[in-house]
Amino acid sequence: MNAPAAPLSPYSSALGKSNVETHTLSVLVDNEPGVLARVVGLFSGRGYNIESLTVAEVAHAEHLSRITIVTSGPPEAIEQVGHQLERLVPIHTVTDLTLRGSAIERELAMIKVCGTGGNRDEALRLADAFRARVIDATTESFVFELTGAAAKIDQFVELMRPIGLVEVSRTGVAAMSRGKDPM
Amino acid sequence: MAREMTGAEMVVEALKDQGVDVIFGYPGGAVLPIYDVLFDHQHAIRHVLVRHEQGAAHAAEGYARSSGRPGVMLVTSGPGATNSVTGLTDALMDSIPVVCITGQAPTHLIGSDAFQECDTVGITRHCTKHNYLVRSIDDLPRILHEAFYVAQHGRPGPVVIDIPKDVQFARGLYSGPQNIEHKTYRPKLEGDPEKIEQAVSMMGAAKRPLFYTGGGVINAGPEASRLLRELVAATGFPITSTLMGLGAYPASGKNWLGMLGMHGTYEANNAMHDCDVMICIGARFDDRITGRLDQFSPGSKKIHIDIDPSSINKNVKVDLGIVGDCAHVAAALLDRWRARGLRADAAALKKWWAEIGKWRARKSLAYKNSSKVIQPQWAIERLYAATKGRDCYITTEVGQHQMWAAQHYHFEAPNRLMTSGGLGTMGYGLPAAIGAQMAHPRALVIDVAGEGSILMNIQELSTAAQYQLPVKVFILNNEYLGMVRQWQELLHGGRYSHSYSEALPDFVKLAEAFGAHGIRCDDPADLDAAIAEMIETPKAVVFDCRIDKTANCLPMIPSGKAHNEMILPDDEDLEAEIDAAGKALV
Ligand SMILES: Cc1ncc(C[n+]2csc(CCOP(=O)(O)OP(=O)(O)O)c2C)c(N)n1
Ligand SMILES: [Mg+2]
């Protein structure tokens, strides 16, 4: 028997069939009340994904904040995300760093690990290899601080899991284009 | 030049500086300071007291769409703001410039669940182009003028300014609208010249070209419509339009194929399907227009001109996207077409018109008339005949009557049809007619209504009475939520669940109760005289036109079908046409 055809939605066009990509968008906004709600609301309202989001003021006198968003979807959908963001009045610029190529991306994480004996030694050895710093220690625990690309942090967290991972706190990605030109 | 005054005075001063002379509103505690100032400026700003804030929003839309100027509304906090939400959403979907001023609880009470406090900017964030909560009197003048700028520039839309009561009382320095531009919001008006060249080349090489135009042409102002007509004349290409774009090209024009889409003509939809170059100007490939997307105009190269970059490649991938204002881009296309001495491929175009002629010959808007019962299509035709040549503005409610009006009333000029396209809001038409009548006091303004929709904002008859606005409500009364009934017939085997309009009021008595004139007509032989009576009556009229109860609105592209799979009026078995997947669509 033939499988029933998937219901055809007017919204799942030929566009929807392409591959899913992950892009990092750097968005410069007026630092005014509600601007983050506008950005987040746009993503939820239109069904876009947010994999990570960071925001902080970057120019105090000009009241500018930078929002860095990692989003995933088909390339056409990501192009839409960019255009929809540009429609928001308090948004100055939207840069797709992934499209631009070779952006630098960094994330900071704190990782709490608990254990005794050989596990403690192993945790410290691995931390050393990853250049993670100990920022808190007790006789039974460490808190490591690690900065790097998101994948490196993922890898470190996975290694800590069997050793005694307790919890993780991550900032999300901050990103910038390489070279002399601004984003 | 800055003058000291209160926040409430700034609001009124800014309205005057923006050239606003009509506002639609409803007072309440949180806007009393502004109403107090309005009391002294009644000569400069006419305030229309609506009977429900949704009415204020639609009236502002009707005013804006019929005049090209922004519509302004003033409502109180809490329920005043929430009652406005449907109208704001409607304006957002149809890109109508509306400035909505809402009162708010005083700043120190915000967040405390104060009386009539609601998170207006939170609630309206998704249904406005932009919104502001004014936290300080120092920001108020800038925000007031910026709101007008944002509402009108680029793709127009509604803007909310939420003003806490203490800010209305506070004193500060007012400055006028000079140099008010938003620091970042600068829509692009001119199309990229290289892309204009490409577009013109594609048009010159076309064998089966088609213009597909929309509300963006009307929003771009009368000049855009004029240029569009020139462009059509210069190229000789056929043209179709969405509901929102009707009138930009005249229905009597020889290249006109009629409206396209779900209830569009056979020739327009087949031309969309079979064209080889599609020139979309100020339309947005909405699902009512495209039908089944994966079979949408499969063989065409598509050019899309829109002021909103996010409209391009949103639903349909196009070959050439041009971001810019419709008028500017149309002028550039025309200029380059002429400068390069281009001409349409005459032989190919002749063949194309011959093909279109065959589709036209199917007469997809035909219907069986009757001498016993008024057919809705005929009622609209007679209405058109009686009002033709007059200065006439048509609004509609939502349903079958809306589509019949679009199909059978022939719009010759832009800004003459006010209808809720994107949101499909029943209850839009009467307040929109009030707004249009305020903008055009001497014109004939007619709301083509359904008996279901009209009851959604019927209270606005009282507004019409108060301001002696002679709006005509022409109800195509089929005693059914007809469009729902039609879908139930087509999709649900004739199980008419809750779509019969029971317990209807006596519309003639209802009219009289509101100080309007009531007319009832159920005999085709009396229709012309009754319509004449309606037009001649110098005050508001409610016309209860009793029509065939089970007439369907055809032709129709059933949901889930392509442009070349239309149901025509002479098809027999309607239900068999729609498959299970189609039934899941709206
Ligand atoms: C506010 C709102 N509620 C529900 C609907 C769904 N709806 C679309 S058309 C329609 C029927 C309208 O009936 P009527 O005004 O009598 O018009 P007719 O189709 O009979 O001409 C309904 C209920 C809507 N469009 N708007
Ligand atoms: Mg009805």
ipTM of the complex: 0.88
Q: For the segment B562-578, what is each residue's pLDDT rounded down to a tens digit? A: 999 999 988 766 665 67
Question: Which residue in the block uniquely carries the two structure tokens 């509609």?
Answer: B396
What residues of chain A, 66 to 95, have a C-beta less than 8 Å from chain B?
76, 79-80, 83-84, 86-92
Summarised one tens digit per residue, pLDDT across range B346-395 is 999 999 999 999 999 999 999 999 999 999 999 999 999 999 999 999 99
Residues of B forming the active site:
53, 115-116, 165, 483
Q: Is the peptide bond before B555 cis (omega within 30 degrees of 0)?
A: yes
Q: What is the set of domains in chain A, with CATH numbers?
A: 21-100 (3.30.70.260), 104-175 (3.30.70.1150)
Atom of ligand 1 nearest to the CA of B476: 21
Give the distance (Å) from ligand 2 centre to CA of residue B452.
5
Say which of A7, A15, A87 has its CB closest to residue B317.
Answer: A15
End-to-end Cα distance, chain B: 56
Core vs surface per residue B560-584: b (16+ CB within 10 A) or e? bbbbbbbbebeeeebeebbeebbee
User: Which residue of A lies nearest to B131 if distances are taken between CA atoms?
Assistant: A89
Calculate the alpha carbon distances from B499 to B425, B495, B556 in Å: 17, 10, 20
Distance from C-alpha of A125 to C-alpha of A128, rounded to nearest angstrom: 5
CA distance B569 to chain A (A): 25
pLDDT value at position B164? Answer: 98
Helix (H, G, I), strand (E, B), or coil: what is residue B199? Answer: helix
Residues 134-173 on A with a CB inside 8 Å of B are none
Do B308 and A87 make contact, defined as CB atoms within 8 angstroms?
yes
Q: Which of A14, A30, A38 faces B294 most closely, judged by CB atoms?
A: A14
Q: What is the mean pLDDT of residues B533-537?
A: 98
Sort out which chain A residues have CB atoms less than 8 A from B135's CB and list them. 33
Check: CB of residue B460 under 8 Å from CB of residue B51: yes
**Which chain B residue has the Cα nearest residue A85?**
B310
Nearest CA-CA distance, residue A81 and chain B, Å: 8
R_g of chain A, CA atoms, integer Å: 20
DSSP string, B30-50: GGHHHHHHHHTTTTTSEEEE-
Q: Look up the pTM and report it.
A: 0.94
Condensed to tens digits (0 to 9), the pLDDT of residues B403-417 reads: 999 999 999 999 999
Summarised one tens digit per residue, pLDDT across range B265-277 is: 999 999 999 999 9
In chain B, which residue's Cα lies nearest the Cα of A75? B313
Say yes or no for a CB contact (<8 Å) between B313 and A80: yes
Ligand 1 cavity residues, CB under 6 Å: B 397-401, 424-426, 450-453, 476, 478, 480-484
Nearest protein CA to atom 9 of ligand 1, as residue? B399
Q: Ligand 2: distance of its center to the CA of A50 in Å?
A: 44
Structure confidence at residue B182 (pLDDT)? 72
- Provide the residue-wise pLDDT of chain A in tens; the chain has 183 residues: 344 443 333 333 444 456 899 999 999 999 999 999 999 999 999 999 999 999 999 999 999 999 999 999 999 999 999 999 999 999 999 999 999 987 999 999 999 999 999 999 999 999 999 999 999 999 999 999 999 999 999 999 999 999 999 999 999 999 999 999 888
CB contact under 8 A, A33 and B290: no
- Min Cα separation A170/chain B (Å): 28
Residue of B86, B377, B481 best suited for mutating to test ligand 1, as the one with most atoms within 8 Å of CB: B481
* CA of B519 relative to ligand 2 center, distance in Å: 17
Q: What is the pLDDT of residues B252-309, one digit of tens each?
A: 999 999 999 999 999 999 999 999 999 999 999 999 999 999 999 999 999 999 999 9
pLDDT at A183: 83
Taking an 8 Å cut-off on Cβ atoms, the answer to whether A87 and B317 are in contact is no
Residue-level pLDDT at A4: 40
Residue B285: closest CA among B191, B188, B212, B192: B212
| Contact: A89, B184; criterion CB under 8 Å | yes
Q: Which of B89, B398, B425 to mutate to test the pocket of ligand 1 (most atoms within 8 A of CB)?
A: B398
- Angle formed at CA B137 by CA B136 and CA B142, multiple of 5 degrees: 100
**Cβ pair B184:A86 closer than 8 A:** no
* CA of B396 relative to ligand 1 center, distance in Å: 11
Q: What is the pLDDT of residue A3?
A: 40
- pLDDT (0 to 100) of residue B2: 84
Q: Is A30 on the interface with B (CB under 8 A)?
A: yes
Q: Do A37 and B122 touch (CB under 8 A)?
A: yes
Which atom of ligand 1 is least distant from the CA of B424?
A: 25
The CA-based angle B56-B59-B65, given to 5 degrees, is: 140
Q: Which ligand is nearest to the CA of B402?
A: 1
Q: Could you count the other beta carbons within 10 Å of the beta carbon of residue A118? A: 9
Tokens 């410069």, residue located: A28
* CA B484–ligand 1 middle distance (angstroms): 7
Q: Quick one: tokens of B426?
A: 């029943």
**Contact yes or no for A13 and B293 at CB 8 A:** yes
Residue B48: both structure tokens together: 């229309």
Tokens representing residue A90 in the block: 């308090």
Q: How far is the CA of B449 from the centre of ligand 2 (A)?
A: 8
CA distance A101 to chain B (A): 23
Q: Which of chain A's residues have a Cβ under 8 Å away from the Cβ of B181?
A: none
Q: Which of B182, B316, B560 sits opposite A8 (nearest CB)?
A: B560
Nearest alpha carbon, ligand 1 atom 23: B481
